[in-house]
Amino acid sequence: MKQKLHSFLLVLLLFCGGLPCGALLHQWPTIEPFWPHYPSRNVTVLTGPWDFGMSPNATCDPMTIRYGDIAFTTTMDVPSAFDVAPMGVLGPRHPCIFYRSLHRCTTSHQAIIKFYAVNFYTRIFIDGVELGQSTVGGYTPFEFLLPSCGTTGQREVLVVVSNTMNSSTCPTCTGGDFYFYSGIIRPVIVTEFGTAATSLWINRIEPVTLDYVKCLIDVRVVVEGTLPSPPESVLSLSYGFNAGPLGANALYPLVNNTAVIPNVVVPDCKLWGLGQGNLYTLTVQETTQGDTMTVRSGVRVIGVDSSQPGASRLTINGEIVKLVGFNRHTQWPDTGAAVTPTQEEADLKLLMGSNSNFVRGAHYPQSPSWLDRLDEAGIAIWEETLGPGTTEADMHNPWFMENHLCAVRNMVRTSFSHPSVIIHGFFNEGPSSSPSACVGYARSAAEIRANVPSQMRLVTWANNHLSLDVCIEYEDVISLNSYPGWYQNFGNVTYPPIFWQEIITFMAATWPEKPIFVSETGGGAFWEWKNDSATFPGPQWSQFYQTNLVEREASFLARFPLLSGVTLWQFSDIKANDGDTVLCGPCVYKHQGGYPNNLTEPWDCGYIDDMCTRPRGENNKGAVDFWRRMKEEYAPIAEAYRNRGP
């Protein structure tokens, strides 16, 4: 079955179905699909069909292949994951995958092209000339300044992608218990400057809440291009709120590409908070060249209340909060990691139905469209860089650290304006029990703090070493991963509360100034295996056992007063990584003839080999299955979260 399906995918890639594969001038969308917006620029959203191909050479080097050796055989929608395949079946892994598009542009005008996520290595040619490459890893945004548009009024964008993930092309691809879907998985947006003479432009706007009571913010405006030179190192700016008119321009000192508009009062202010998606829009114009950008944000401050000894708690706008929710991977069966707006809405509805007010974006930077939805819903999120499975050696590898820290910067800067993002993290279950690894943790935490103030983001990492973590001094929040009752003391569903009370109490006493999270815990179940009539607490992989385990754990953690937050593992079932996909393979399906016709409809299993590490090629610990059908634990979790303590 695996070989048959894999061959089908390769045939799909090799033929155009009789259609020509030359790049065409598509009618691309011209409205940004998420924030920020660019009122003064011509916007081209390269969402739609691109020419697509794959090198016939399995040893092709994506870093050196010549433009003239690239060919196309079919088309592929962007964004999408080109290697979507059934659970337990590998999609194609290949060093050289090709994409090409054409778009209209204005002669002599420059532009910015931003890729919001390409999995995993990316090399870019513009009109046949190499522009640059990205080795920061998948799911991570990056951008380039495009050369001036030529006299044809057209621009070709050609992208070489590799999903073979070696340490040269993707040093941050260090592993992870999830399938690495590949391709241009998030939008590509070109923003062309309004005039050919534009030599200075706004790169980003960063609103920093100073005082939530007075609704007072600083507005940091970061510019690129030809900067004013001393003694005229000032920036002429005007700004306005909520689609209102811009005020008079004024001059602001420019230091390190950044001007600060200080002590700005947000008009008609309502605070952003949990369940309160109160937002404002802010437009800033650089008045000498006219470049303009609009961001959306909210007034809110993150803090720590240590007034009770040994019981530090996280606060939002000065109020102690209890954060409850799930780890969520960006995966659906039919779209892979290129999740659609409709699928994001479905996930948000399920999160809200579970009474979650928090989600951990495991294990990579998040889509801006998803963050927009969380902003509007008043749901907080922990966002982290790609990099599960990092090692002590990685912490001392200059190539790894260079790319990792670049990924940290790109993540923080891209999501800066989103009030839902309250925590940034890195190195899921990394080598934090080794003293020599702490240099990597210290540098990563410092990079976050250098780019965003502490009242806007706190720093953490998911630690499975518990009290043996020796790098804790560098984080703001202690986050703990463990699976009592599943990997430890399986069958004893009364054990998790005992385990967690002991470890949390110990960590609180040892680090009294730091809030504590349980960042991963839970157990697995197959959607098909309800087995409610089994002897308590039920067999492994049954929904009966999962519910008996997780209901008790969630109820305890949601009310334990020393704990600031909990994210159960996990929101939905997901496709397993390559190793477990090969090792476990698919289940035996109920459907007559095996597989259904598509991955949009649920594929129910008739037989599952439960002796494998990831049965049927999935991580089965979701509260909903891969198709978002609720498991039996969903309702008890929702009740536990509804009754969460202060």
**Per residue in 401-450, pLDDT tens?**
999 999 999 999 999 999 999 999 999 999 999 999 999 999 999 999 99
pLDDT at 231: 63
The string of pLDDT tens digits covering residues 353-408 is: 999 999 999 999 999 999 999 999 999 999 999 989 999 999 999 999 999 999 99
Written as six digits, the tokens of 446 are 């410092």
Q: Determine the 3-state secondary structure of 438 from DSSP.
A: helix
Q: Does 512 sit behind a cis peptide bond, omega within 30 degrees of 0 on the bond before it?
A: no
**Residue range 295-305: average pLDDT?**
98
- State the pLDDT confidence band at 6, using cuts at 50, 70 and 90: very low
Per-residue model confidence (pLDDT) at position 18:
31
CA angle 164, 168, 173 (to 5 degrees): 55
Query: For residue 16, is pLDDT > 60?
Result: no
Q: What is the pLDDT of residue 594?
A: 65
Domain 303-574+627-642, what architecture? Alpha-Beta Barrel (3.20)
Instruction: State how far the Cα of 605 lies from the Cα of 609, in Å rounded to an integer.
Output: 10
Q: What is the mean pLDDT of residues 338-362?
A: 98
pLDDT recorded at residue 473: 98
- State both tokens at 11: 């045939």
Q: What's domain 2-192's architecture?
A: Sandwich (2.60)
Q: Which residues contact 616 (CB under 8 A, 6 or more apart)?
A: 87, 88, 526, 584, 585, 586, 587, 605, 608, 609
Residues near 22 by beta carbon (within 8 Å), at least 6 away in sequence: 51
Whole-number pLDDT of residue 532: 72
Place of tokens 């114009």: 285
343 preceded by cis ω (within 30°)?
no
499 CB-side CA count, 13 A: 21
Q: Does the pLDDT at position 15 exceed 50?
A: no
Among the four given CATH numbers 2.60.40.10, 2.30.300.10, 3.30.70.260, 3.40.50.2020, the one describing domain 200-297: 2.60.40.10
**Ramachandran class of 215: left when φ > 0, alpha when ψ lies in -120 to 50, beta otherwise:** left
User: What's the mean per-residue pLDDT of the chain?
Assistant: 94
Whole-number pLDDT of residue 591: 77
Q: Report pLDDT for 227.
A: 87
Q: Locate the domains of the chain by residue range.
A: 2-192, 200-297, 303-574+627-642
Question: Is the predicted pLDDT of residue 7 greater than 50, yes or no?
Answer: no
**Which two structure tokens, joined as six digits, stand for 367?**
């889509």
* Residue 22 pLDDT level (bands cut at 50, 70, 90): low
- Which strand (E) or helix (H) includes residue 205? strand 200-211
Which pLDDT tens digit goes with each residue over 273-287? 999 999 999 999 999
Residue with tokens 């395949």: 85
pLDDT at 534: 79
137: left (phi over 0), alpha (psi -120 to 50) or beta: left
Q: Which two tokens stand for residue 295?
A: 């961001």
Question: Could you write out the DSSP letters of every residue in 64-93?
Answer: T--GGG----EEEEES--TT---TT-----
**Cβ neighbours of residue 447 under 8 Å, at least 6 residues apart?**
405, 408, 409, 412
Distance CA 386, CA 118 (A): 13
| Longest alpha-carbon distance in the chain | 80
Report the alpha-carbon distance of residue 558 to residue 646 in Å, rounded: 9
Residue 2 confidence (pLDDT) above 60:
no
Contact 472/528 with Cβ under 8 angstroms? no
Give the model's confidence band at 9: pLDDT under 50 very low, under 70 low, under 90 confident, else very high. Answer: very low
pTM of structure: 0.95
